[in-house]
Structure formats: structure tokens, C-alpha cells
Amino acid sequence: MRVGLISDVHANITALETVLEDMPAVDRIVHAGDAVGYNAWPAECVETLRDRGIDSVMGNHDRKVAHRTNFERNRMAQAGIQKALADLAGDDLAWIDGLPETLTCCDGRVQIVHGHPDDPDRYTYPDEFAPGLLGDEDVLVLGHTHVQHAEQFGEGIVVNPGSVGQPRDNDPRAGYAVIDLDALTVETHRVAYDVDAVAEGIVEAGLPQQSGERLKEGR
């Protein structure tokens, strides 16, 4: 069984569509949280995830929308939440509201969290990847850092597929990964998309220009 892994779409529909088109054949796709935030197309991204049957966990930006709250200091993050709250309604908003903090799939072999198995808001960077993060599952999928990385241990695989919509590892290309549960292997992928068009759309939507500029540098 092959499973596509995505994370941190962050309302970037161009990057999401590019990733889904580029992804090789898989049996299912899962998302490690943050469908919304920062970028200009929260409704389009939520609708795509729903229409494709992509199961997701709740990221910290999703939680702000679900709780109808906002970040206190980060202007770019604040604007993205305001955009999501303005654009989402009906079934799309209900989907966000109903996202779980953790998700186990594939007969218990894959666990998906956003930040860390013990704390959904904790950033877990590559130098913290270790066998101790794994429970009974063969594969732990996490996001939140927007840094693509995978490590294979005797106990299983820990993987962050990278961010679809806002990479922060100095590579502007959208990130994703594919796991093969039969072979117990993982492949990480990057794919280029039209970052300039996304940056223009961010400004046109009235969001901070910096939200688009950082995409060009992958930060």
C-alpha cells in the first residue's frame, strides 16, 4: 500500500493542485494539518481536500479558525485567519471544526499528528527525529515546522513531508512524500509551481505582501 503525505497547505491552492498532479499513484493521501492560513485561497483548499477524500488532522491555524480566535502578534498569520473566517462557511467550516488532533490509519500502521505526538503545537525539527517518537505505529507523520525530512529507524519511519503551501527550508518548491507500507520505505519529493502568481494573488486579496515574498525564498 502506498500513501501520499502532505502537510501545511496553508490556503495555497496553486501549490496544492500542483502537488496532487505531480504525486505518483497512491492508494490514499493524508494531510498533517494547517489547511488554512497565510495565503489567499482557504475555501478552495478545503474544498479540494474534502472532494479528494484527503483525511487531515487539525493544525494550529485550523484550530484558530475552529475556535474563532486569532494569533496575537504575527500580522501575516492574523491576516490569514481573518481571510479564512471570512471565506469559509457551511460544510467547509464544519470540516475545519471537526478535524481531529491525531489520526491513525492503514490498520494502525500510520499515525498523523501536526506538531508532536505529545503536543500538537510543539515544533519537532529534524534533529529531534528519533525512535522514541514512534508508538505502536510503523510510520509517524508530522508537520508544523514546514521543513521536509525523513528518517528510517529499526522501529519505523518518522517523516515530515514538508509544506505544500509555505516551505521554510530555503527551497521554494512545494514538498510532499510517499510511503510504501509493504516495503516500509519513504520518498520525499519537491515540485515547482508558479510562486510569482501566488504572490500576486496574495496582494490582490489584501493580504500582507510579505506573505507572498517569503514564498519566493522558501522561508
Count Cβ neighbours within 10 Å for each residue of 155-185 and write b for 16 or more, e otherwise.
ebbbbbbbbbbbbbbebbbbbbbbbebeeee
In order of their start, the domains of the chain are 2-101+165-217 (3.60.21.10)
- φ/ψ (deg, to 5) at 76: -65, -45
pTM of the model: 0.97
Q: pLDDT in tens for each of the 219 residues of the chain?
A: 999 999 999 999 999 999 999 999 999 999 999 999 999 999 999 999 999 999 999 999 999 999 999 999 899 999 999 999 999 999 999 999 999 999 999 999 999 999 999 999 999 999 999 999 999 999 999 999 999 999 999 999 999 999 999 999 999 999 999 999 999 999 999 999 999 999 999 999 999 999 999 999 999
Residue 216 in grid coordinates = 519566493
Return the ∠ at Cα 185 (arms to 191 and 190), rounded to 5°: 10
